[in-house]
Chains A and B, each alone.
Chain A
Amino acid sequence: MAVLELPDWMALAPALILAGTALVLFLIDSIEPHSTNRTLLSGTAVAGSLSSLAVAVWFTVAGVGATGIENYGVIDIMNGQFVVDQLALYFMIIIAVVTALVTVASYDYLQDHTYQAEYYSLVVLAATGMSMMAASNSLVTIFIALELTSLPSYALVAILKDNRGSVEAGLKYFLIGALSSAIFVYGVSLVYGATGSLQLTRIATVLESGDGAVGEMGGLLGLGILMLIGGVAFKTASVPFHFWAPEAYEGAPAPISAFLSSASKAAGFVLAFRVFTTAFPLEATTGIIGVDWTLVFAILAIVTMTLGNFAAATQENVKRMLAYSSIGHAGYVLIGLAALSADGGDLVMGAAMMHLLVYGFMNTGAFLFVGLAEYWGVGRTFEDYNGLAERAPFACGAMAVFMFSLAGVPPFSGFWSKYLLYTELINAAADNTVLLVLAAALVINSALSLYYYSRLVKALWIEEPLLDRDRLAQPTGLYAAVIAAAVMTVVLLPAFGPVADAALEAAAAVVA
């Protein structure tokens, strides 16, 4: 590695920084248990996630893991157990950004909360897991990173121990999560059985060479792949592994909902991108299992986006609406995997990754706004939100930006990423009926989504409040996070060129 001649393992720095931050938080907790020094705890977490972000951005700019430049290249660590390339760095950036926003917002949200240090260390630990997931290159490390993400998440969802909603959400999340990870591990065992390896590139080699008994274990391998897809679907909250999501997002503290629905989902997707592009090369795998695995993703994408958007349309609870919308967006991103079999599939995947980044800002922001509303104690339903704009125009303006961006209304970034996704999909769909159906589903669902997103904007800005409100407080941290997310949602627009390039290069890196 050429940059400053750092050792190879330093390429994992964004994840390592997060791990270190978590340890520092534990240290603080052990020195001063039950500390309520929110500034210190939150500050540490924010500093950790921001430095992780800074390092990841620096690496990206410096060309760490970039292919096609002399002396640079994908960095293998621990015999290929980890790999740092543009894809990994791109997702590390998304995860670090969301973590930073969430930790900033938590500063106010956790006022009067008992488990401050635990909360932040769990958040940062989960972020570490996600960051590791982006770089994992073996089913072993993937599974460990997956669990490192999941276990703190379960605890975080249930962290409001006296709140029945939070506990119920935690329970459901945990149970479905345990079931899913069992399925995932079983899938891993089957893939191992078929190929004799757990390292992704080696699996691909075996599949391509047809060594050993792989050819006779087509069914076993196929079932294993399907089970892996199940594990991924759980992380990304895709149908039919989505059942935990509405409850977990609704019951969890709002910053955690934001964290799970943005960062955790992104981590799930990087996992999918990595595993399915690296380990299961399309032609070889299709030859063995007899069917094109992108078909599964196509089915999942259509069902997921349809279910998510339809279920969101008639929700009364804002947070639950956002939860379902988050499922719908998972469906959009799944298109990136579904289109891999077609020419130009890497471009579709790049567009899907762009959407994930934009989504990281707008969805986090939306959930944080809900957190702000919970902080104000205005209630949970659309009606409770009526006329909030009178009292909090800035925050409500930001929320309108999020909503329109989520719906894909120009000129916000959400429009551009969705538009790119759509055009690339149409380009790739030249002779592919399945993809055309996908494109149609994308359009129909986007149209439907505008209905419920604009419903919220209408409630905020047009409806009269049900009862008079006093002045609303303006918590610094939450406000800062919401406004920052809104600014990014808008500002990403002129900066879309570099983002698009980064995403496309990252996609090209794994697909090629």
Chain B
Amino acid sequence: MAATATGPFGFAPAIAVFPLVAFVITLVFGRHLPKKGALPGILATAGSLVVSVVMFAAVAGGGEHHTTLYEWTSGAATSETMVEGIEFTFGILIDPLSALMLVIVSLVALLVHVFSLGYMNAEGETGLRRYYAELGLFTFSMLAFVFADNLLMAFMFFELVGLCSYLLIGFWFRTESAPSAAKKAFLVTRFGDYFFLIGVVAIAATFGTVGFAGEESFVTAAETAIDDGTTLFGFDAETWVTITGLLVLGGVLGKSAQFPFHTWLPDAMEGPTTVSALIHAATMVAAGVYLVARMFGYYALSPTALAIIAFVGGFTALFAATMAVVKDDIKQVLAYSTISQYGYMMLGLGVGGYVAGVFHLMNHAFFKALLFLGAGAVIILMHHEQDMWEMGGLKDKAPVTYYTFLAGALALAGIVPFSGFWSKDEVLFDALAVGLEQPVILAAYAMGLLAVFFTGFYTFRMVFLTFHGEPRSAAAEDPHSVGWAVKVPLLALGTLATVAGFANLAPVAELLHADITFLEFWLDGKYGAVEGLTYHAYHETVAFEEGVIGSETTTMLLSAGLSLGLALAGAFTAHTLYNVPEPSRHTTKLGGAYRVLKSNYYQDEYQVWLAEGLTLPLARAADRFDQTVIDGVVNGTSTISLFGSDRVKRIQTGIVTNYAALLVGGFIGLLLVLGYLGGWFA
């Protein structure tokens, strides 16, 4: 361990090591521990949180930390940009972005661990040792991914995160649907990761480095290559950066469930709700967007890649929001809302709104964790019933759950002053500003804006159906009670979901001319940062022009007003339709669209068709080729060899005179060859 850094940063590895230790302890001794191994996990994540906060404070105090812990291999190959040798290392990079993310991840992980006491232990689940062990491994992977200082290390932990999701989604492996969902999540994200891996290799081969930060980083190298007009693998540098960036983006789209790789995420609801909270808020899905933020300097070099990110994000935001409108299962609604919200983050990052994207990532982590845990609480209340049409009227029977859930819902819908409003508004404002100059971005913005209406609608449809009106089932009449382990995390997250938005009150700052955009300062390196990895640096790199309607303030107010208005409109529509004692489904109003939405735009169908109608025949053809041609050649070779063997050994006739003749014959043959070559007969 080369922990040469002095001061608090020397403890950085502990952030990831704590949950790893918890994983090992739980795995080995879990059976004998009280609470089936929940305690090591809680202690470890609490420890990680403490150290993360220390890191956060240290960065706030102007520090930053970048060190290599372990070099596991190095090569002597020369890269396309003539860098000689390449090293593959494990290293730690603590800068404002990763410090912030570390706090978020460890906080959410801690709360999920605590909540699990109420959700899993209290409900008498079996296999808890496995559950907590996997949870520990999951947290470890994500934390290590967050502080990774190079792309390859990030990739490795990215994969580990995927593996842990697979394990946890399939936690109830005896059911039919959970293993299938787990497989689907694994395969779909793996499909994206395949491109990611190629991207990693391409970047390493091109620039001879996979580091994120510093002079030696591939970001700097790419910038130099573009400035010098270098040709890389036959493309000009910017095109090549776009290609490699998009390859890496494949992994991002898979993990962050962006169109067209989003299909795994709704199915992933088969896992325990706590796991869903962790996956959606802070780990698996967040990993994708975090990766874009982590290597934002690279994407910033390529306007094409950015535009694609923005457009995919905007499209996914709208696309998923429409599907959420018709779902009956409370977790399904949340699942589609997650896809939609990550679409917003991609949109924000894609238009160069680095701060906006990260801001929304943070807020979303809080309110989505809150909503999922709230949904978990509802599920406890409802004796494991998830259909919203069986609920109703829970408002009075479970006030803590209701009010915290409401806070989360307001944040999700983007109602002022809850956190979601501020960040979503900033994303949309940034998109609008760029969109005024770029038609493609304007289309993405329009989709994002339209999605706000649907978000408001489905969010409050969910709230009203669940908590308002009359109870519609026996379970809703007499809900199960929930304990402190459920309420404490809800309260903590409820508070955060309400106030987290104040970290970056950009519109207010604009109006009052006050310096209260703390997150922007934070990410801009006002406190401490690694050079080059700041908002300003990124902003200068991004090639987009920004336009305004009237003045910047007008534009901002217009944008904020639009999105708030649409959100309220959506909420109000939901109110009229569903906030009645006996709500009805109102599905006929949608007509044919209902079936399309209910079937998720037939996304699963076409992907299954791709697998069965296209891949399977191809695989069959390949198999037939293998069985006939390849095996034929192989079998033919062996047949010929054995036949040849049978002929060759017949030379040995057993008669010694023949041997002598063959010997002399062979000798004369050699003599002739040699004599001919040596010119002895000339």
Contacts and interface: CB of A to CB of B under 8 A. Distances in A.
Asked if chains A and B are in direct contact (CB within 8 A), the reply is yes
B619 interface: no
B667 A239 contact: no
A304 to B, nearest CB: 11
Given A171-B656, A176-B659, A314-B645, A226 B677 contact: no
Given A295-B674, A311-B649, 20 more contacts: A172-B659, A176-B660, A179-B663, A218-B680, A222-B674, A222-B675, A226-B674, A240-B665, A240-B666, A243-B652, A289-B678, A291-B677, A296-B670, A299-B670, A299-B673, A307-B648, A310-B641, A310-B644, A311-B651, A313-B645
A400 B598 CA distance: 64
A230 B641 CA distance: 28
B659 A226 contact: no
Interface residues on B, range: 20 to 34
Interface in B624-644: 638, 641-642, 644
A311 B677 CA distance: 30
B680 A222 contact: yes
B228 interface: no
B62 to A, nearest CB: 54
A448 interface: yes
B662 A240 contact: yes
Interface of B: 638, 641-642, 644-646, 648-649, 651-652, 654, 656, 659-660, 662-663, 665-667, 669-671, 673-675, 677-680
A290 interface: yes
Contacts of A175: 656, 660
Contacts of B662: 240, 243
A293 to B, nearest CB: 8
Contacts of B638: 451
Contacts of B666: 239-241
A343 to B, nearest CB: 22
A315 interface: yes
A219 interface: yes
Given A222-B675, A226-B671, A295-B674, A244 B652 contact: no
Interface in A210-237: 218-219, 222-223, 226, 229-230
A326 to B, nearest CB: 14
A268 interface: no
11 contacts: A171-B656, A219-B675, A226-B670, A229-B670, A240-B666, A243-B659, A247-B654, A290-B680, A291-B679, A299-B670, A310-B648
Nearest to B676: A291
Contacts of A171: 656
A315 B656 contact: no
Nearest to A309: B645
A445 to B, nearest CB: 10
SS of A interface (majority) = helix
A190 to B, nearest CB: 12
A246 interface: yes
A144 interface: no
Interface of A: 171-172, 175-176, 179-180, 183, 218-219, 222-223, 226, 229-230, 239-241, 243-244, 246-247, 289-291, 295-296, 299-300, 307, 310-315, 324, 448, 451
Contacts of B641: 310, 313, 448, 451
B678 to A, nearest CB: 3
A311 B648 contact: yes
B674 A296 contact: yes
Contacts of A299: 670, 673
Nearest to A227: B667
B667 A240 contact: yes
Given A240-B663, A243-B663, A314 B649 contact: yes
A317 to B, nearest CB: 11
Contacts of B642: 313-314
B423 to A, nearest CB: 58
A290 B677 contact: yes
Contacts of B651: 307, 311
Contacts of B652: 243, 246-247, 311
A222 B669 CA distance: 14
B665 A314 contact: no
A329 to B, nearest CB: 16
B648 A176 contact: no
A393 B644 CA distance: 34
Contacts of B677: 290-291, 295
A13 to B, nearest CB: 37
A239 B651 CA distance: 12
A197 B649 CA distance: 41
A313 B665 CA distance: 25
Given A172-B659, A311-B652, A313-B642, A223 B671 contact: yes
Contacts of B669: 240
A302 to B, nearest CB: 13
Nearest to A175: B656
A290 B663 contact: no
Contacts of A239: 666
A384 B37 CA distance: 59
Nearest to B657: A175
Contacts of A226: 667, 670-671, 674
Contacts of B667: 183, 226, 230, 240
Closest 6 CB pairs between A and B?
A: A240-B666, A291-B678, A290-B678, A243-B659, A219-B680, A313-B645
A179 B658 CA distance: 13
A241 B663 CA distance: 6
A336 B237 CA distance: 50
Contact of B645 (A176, A243, A310): A310
